[in-house]
Amino acid sequence: MLVVLCLGDASAQYNKRYIAWASRNMLAEDNYKDAIEILNVLLRSDKESYEAYFLRGYAKLGLGDLLGAKSDLTKALDINEVYTEAYHYRGIVAAELGNYEDAVRDLSSAIDLRPDIVGSYYSRGVTHLRNKQWVKALVDFDMVLRHTDKDAQTHINRGIAHLGLRDTLSAHECFDKAIRTNRDYTEGYNQKAMLLMSEGKDEEALEMYNMAIKCDSTYIQPLFNRAIVYCNLERYKEAIEDYERVLELDPYITGAHFNLAITHSERGNYSEALANYDKVIEHAPENVKAYYNRAGVLMRMDRDLEALSDYSKAIELYPDFANAYLQRAIVKDKLRDKVGAGRDRAIAERKIAEYEARLEEDPEGLTLYADTSKHFNLLVSFESRLAERKLTEESAESATLRKMYRWALGAPESSESHHYYNALVEECPVGSDPRITFSNEPTELPEEEVAKINEEFSAKAYESVESLFRWGISQLTMRQYTSSLGILTEALRLDPTNAMLYLNRAVARAEMIDFISSVGFTERITLEDNMTQRAHTKRTYNYDEAIADLTMAAELAPDVAYIYYNRANLYALSGRMPEAYDDYTRALTLAPYLAEAYFNRGLVQLLMKDTQKGAMDLSKAGELGIKEAYGILKRYQKN
């Protein structure tokens, strides 16, 4: 027996070492998702494995899950307080979250433990750079260069720090050193070019941009900025070619469309200008500049009614925009609306008077009124918000709640959650038919197969309560909601203590409401960029009856997590967020690995403005297999 025990222990140790080795290999290949899954296995058997927490934190960092990474790296340090790598990466995470003091503290701890590791000095220097601590950044970058002066990016970072100190001469020297250190590194040329461009040295900047693009023809920033230089030099044809190349590489660089529109407009190519302003407005519908400039192009094309609409939109977005009132007055004159034109001019004169008065009172505080007298026909820089790439991951569609669980015909087992045992669910008689599954996934059976099974169930429907239940399930699968409700109600009349019947009837009621409401309008729990709940129109239906069914099910079977999960969904869809949060929490108390409950509770907390806790729940959902959670985290964890 002793030999067996020893061998068993050795085998366990061997497996742990193997898992750690395998996960490191996955991380080396940027296979973060699979690494997390295998590390979850290790941590379930060994909750004191600081290396596993560290590796999982590293993987979450790779997926952009900063709060999840911070949590795991902290656990690693709680177990092993002298784990240098954990301090280093937790510092990086803190810097990414904008917590610069915490980042410096962690990176300093890593340096204290291992002063020979250059990477910690570099990361601390970058953190100081982000926090505009220019001198401290220079000290750290100088330490890096003591170990090696062959790192071009460190020279570039020193140049940026010198620019922060307004020492352009030293910045030039640093960028020159970066170029000499690595003549194939495009960023050295790019930074040098931007500095020359800021000094008005367009010809020299052009030469540097040419070198940067020669090193990397797919690097968007030098292409974008070279186009601006070409415009400054009135070489419009080459500018247009560069902007078009930028858009080939990334069609969501809205600033390229904006600058293209201006360039085409300057050359009298009004159709091309209009097409590009249309693209700007498509991607940035709140951009007042685009409406104002497009209106000017439309006026030149004698499309006065459309120009009027665009000037009105610009005024709606920016009511203090005096020039928009003046231009709209011109359009109204052309349309023979003399009264409207006079009214617009009067408003513009009042706005300009307010602007001039403010200018006399506070010459430095120009930002509020500056745009009332300034034409918007200026090229935007690459750093402008207009030039930012549209978020594509998880922004084309709003995040929605994970679906409710129910007995379903032809649905696969739910793949995202770890299955947990509950006798009532496992031993439910309808589950003895292999075609029926307890799931929150849609059916995979073709319609003809569903109809065939429904016909079979209907023929035997009144043999027993279970037979009625099966028929109700098949009717629900066919979206025969009224029929399904009637059948399940009849089954409950015969067996009023069946919690699973109440659960499925609640789902039937909810799905019927969803279907009817989707015909005329929609209202769902969604996450928009401003973290608001979206409601297109007032709902005329409610989930009270479905909630009542689930409340009865909970009274009959208080230990079934799925009942609370379903009821939480309906509370959330009804706008009752605190009750939804409480029910998701009850579900997770009973089923700690119910991924969908973490995901949905995370969305609810984001809507309740509890961003940190919501992000932690989404992090857990991602860890348990819901990939969509990571995309949402990237958008909201810094709010």
C-alpha of 396 from chain center? 10
- Range 272-295 average pLDDT: 90
Question: Is residue 201 scored above 90 in pLDDT?
Answer: yes
> Tens of pLDDT along 352-370?
887 676 556 545 444 333 4
The three-state (H, E, C) secondary structure of 32-62, written as one string: HHHHHHHHHHHHHHCCCCHHHHHHHHHHHHH
> Tens of pLDDT along 21-73?
788 888 888 888 888 888 888 888 888 889 999 999 999 988 888 888 999 99
pLDDT-based confidence at residue 381 (cuts at 50, 70, 90): low
Which superfamily does CATH assign the domain made up of 270-387 to?
Tetratricopeptide repeat domain (1.25.40.10)
Please report where in the chains the tokens 């050295």 appear, as a residue. Answer: 188
Alpha carbon distance 314, 280 (integer Å): 14
* Percent of the chain at pLDDT exceeding 90: 53
Higher pLDDT, 414 or 4: 414
By mean pLDDT, which of 107-116, 255-264, 281-290, 367-376 is the weakest?
367-376
By mean pLDDT, which of 85-94, 225-234, 362-371, 605-614 is the weakest?
362-371
Write down the mean pLDDT value for the chain. Answer: 83
pLDDT-based confidence at residue 115 (cuts at 50, 70, 90): very high
- Range 424-444 average pLDDT: 89
Q: Please determine whether the domains at 270-387 and 406-636 fall in the same fold group of CATH.
A: yes
Alpha carbon distance 632, 621 (integer Å): 11
Alpha carbon distance 630, 617 (integer Å): 11
What was the pLDDT predicted at 248? 93
What was the pLDDT predicted at 636? 66
What was the pLDDT predicted at 367? 38
CB atoms near residue 106 (< 10 Å): 28
What was the pLDDT predicted at 382? 63
- Range 462-488 average pLDDT: 88
Q: At what angle do helices 322-334 and 338-361 cross, to 10 degrees?
A: 160
Maximum distance among all Cα pairs of the chain, rounded to whole angstroms: 103
Q: Do residues 576 and 408 make contact, with C-beta atoms less than 8 angstroms apart?
A: no
Q: Do residues 352 and 374 make contact, with C-beta atoms less than 8 angstroms apart?
A: no
How deeply is 530 buried, as exposed, middle or buried, from its count of CB atoms within 10 A (0-12, 13-18, 19+)? exposed
Q: Do residues 503 and 553 make contact, with C-beta atoms less than 8 angstroms apart?
A: yes
> Tens of pLDDT along 173-188?
999 999 999 999 999 9
Alpha carbon distance 458, 477 (integer Å): 14
Which superfamily does CATH assign the domain made up of 406-636 to?
Tetratricopeptide repeat domain (1.25.40.10)
Question: Is residue 95 scored above 50 in pLDDT?
Answer: yes
What was the pLDDT predicted at 396? 26
Kindly calculate the radius of gyration of the chain based on its CA atoms and give it in whole angstroms: 31
Buried b (16+ CB within 10 A) or exposed e, 33-49: bebbbbbbebbeeeeeb
Amino acid at 337: D
Pairing of strands 436-439, 406-409: antiparallel
What was the pLDDT predicted at 344? 94
Alpha carbon distance 305, 272 (integer Å): 20
Entry field: residues in the chain: 639
What was the pLDDT predicted at 361? 54
* Percent of the chain at pLDDT exceeding 70: 84
For the chain, the distance separating the N- and C-terminal CA atoms, rounded to the nearest angstrom, is: 58
What was the pLDDT predicted at 199? 94
By mean pLDDT, which of 291-295, 339-343, 359-363 is the weakest?
359-363
Higher pLDDT, 58 or 380: 58
Residue 211's nearest CA partner among 257, 253, 178, 248 is 178
- At residue 298, φ and ψ (nearest 5 deg) are -60, -35
- At residue 302, φ and ψ (nearest 5 deg) are 60, 30
pLDDT-based confidence at residue 292 (cuts at 50, 70, 90): very high
CB atoms near residue 21 (< 10 Å): 10
For the chain, the structural domain boundaries read 270-387, 406-636
**How many CA atoms, within 13 angstroms, populate the side-chain half-sphere of residue 230?**
20
Higher pLDDT, 385 or 127: 127
Question: Is residue 385 scored above 70 in pLDDT?
Answer: no
Q: Do residues 186 and 153 make contact, with C-beta atoms less than 8 angstroms apart?
A: no
